[in-house]
Amino acid sequence: MEKVSWGVISTAKIGTEKVIPAMQKGKYCDIKAIASIDYSKAKKTADRLKIPKAYGSYEELLKDNEIQAVYIPLPNHLHVEWSIHSLKAGKHVLCEKPLGMNFKETENLQKTAAEFPKLKVMEAFMYRHHPQIQKTKELIDSGTIGELKNIHTMFSYYNIDPKNIRNMADIGGGGLMDIGCYCISISRFLFGSEPKRVCATMDFDPQMKVDRFVSAVLEFKDGVANISCSTQLKFHQFAEIVGTKGKIRMDLPFTPVPENPAKIILQTDSSAEEISFEICNQYTIQGDLFSKAILYDTKVPTPLEDGIANMKVIDAIKESSKISSWFELDKL
């Protein structure tokens, strides 16, 4: 079976502990190389994960003609820069979320991507590809819960380590960029449209200057999404999707445990049921779907425009918080 040869730019924890091992189990992914600005770290990681090649710079990996696609789990402020470098080196790009630091920056990525129409670019929102999310979308679109009117999501964890990149404001840290982006993404995906305006509040850590709690209302044409995220609350996540004739609840919408069957609870006017899914790893699914798009030259499951639209909502939430009022997205 033909596989795509992958390179990984960075030895970031999300990559080495979750994404790479999962992609190595895929049918269409072959992780061939990993790069770090520290060669010894790249070599150590490559040996541990049984990756054939290690490079002491990102540029070296991009010069490797064997590599067809790159996965980029760098800190947020480097996403656009190295996505552009990768495209110019002739590589397909799977970039970690959020796509960039702001909406304007991601528009620059879109312009560059347009210059390379044969190359695929996608934001790595792995949760989108999990069967529980796909089934939820199917139930909504089929009218099972009537007209979708409200989505309520929360995502939180507790991390006060100032050395953690999530707590470094200048490189794109903070709750909104790290996990609030999921709540925005799922709301847009399930409504199947973009919010017209947002109203938000953000609380910042006085020492680290990153947002540690964010709550926002996203107003769509047909309903409302209420989102909350925090980097200084106990780990918690859920999604409740409510329509005129029923509702759906997911207890782990974003990071379901790959060793356990995921489940959603569907309740309608006439019945209530728990829907379980076969054990799977959403990172494996994501890697295979992207690789298949490369192999068969088909569209990626989540187009680049989706990541840019998500970034626009992130920026709008920040602007709304500054003025303590509603902010319309068409002002960006």
Share the mean pLDDT of the chain: 98
DSSP collapsed to 3 states, 191-224: HCCCCCEEEEEEEECCCCCCEEEEEEEEECCCCE
pLDDT for position 193: 98
Backbone angles phi, psi at 189, to 5 degrees: -65, -45
| For the chain, domain boundaries | 4-124, 131-281+311-331
Per-residue pLDDT band for 298 (boundaries 50, 70, 90) equals very high
Among the listed residues 179, 182, 200, the one whose alpha carbon sits nearest the alpha carbon of residue 190: 182
CA distances from 103 to 84, 267, 269 (A): 15, 37, 41
Query: Per-residue pLDDT averaged across 40-69, rounded?
Result: 98
pLDDT for position 125: 97
The contacts of residue 324 (CB under 8 Å, 6+ apart) are 201
Q: Which position has the token pair 């979708």?
A: 148
Q: Kindly tell me the sign of the dihedral angle through the C-alpha atoms of 4, 66, 125, 231.
A: positive
Do 4-124 and 131-281+311-331 agree at the fold level? no
Per-residue pLDDT band for 196 (boundaries 50, 70, 90) equals very high
Per-residue pLDDT band for 303 (boundaries 50, 70, 90) equals very high
Tens-digit pLDDT profile for residues 207-235 = 999 999 999 999 999 999 999 999 999 99
131-281+311-331 is a CATH 3.30.360.10 domain: yes
Per-residue pLDDT band for 286 (boundaries 50, 70, 90) equals very high
Among the listed residues 7, 12, 321, 8, the one whose alpha carbon sits nearest the alpha carbon of residue 166: 12
The CATH class that applies to domain 4-124 reads: alpha beta
Distance, CA of 116 to CA of 72 (rounded, Å): 18
Quick check: 1 pLDDT over 80? Answer: no
Tens-digit pLDDT profile for residues 251-279 = 999 999 999 999 999 999 889 999 999 99
The structure's pTM equals 0.97
As given in the structure block, the two tokens for residue 190 are: 């399930």
pLDDT for position 270: 85
Tens-digit pLDDT profile for residues 160-174 = 999 999 999 999 999
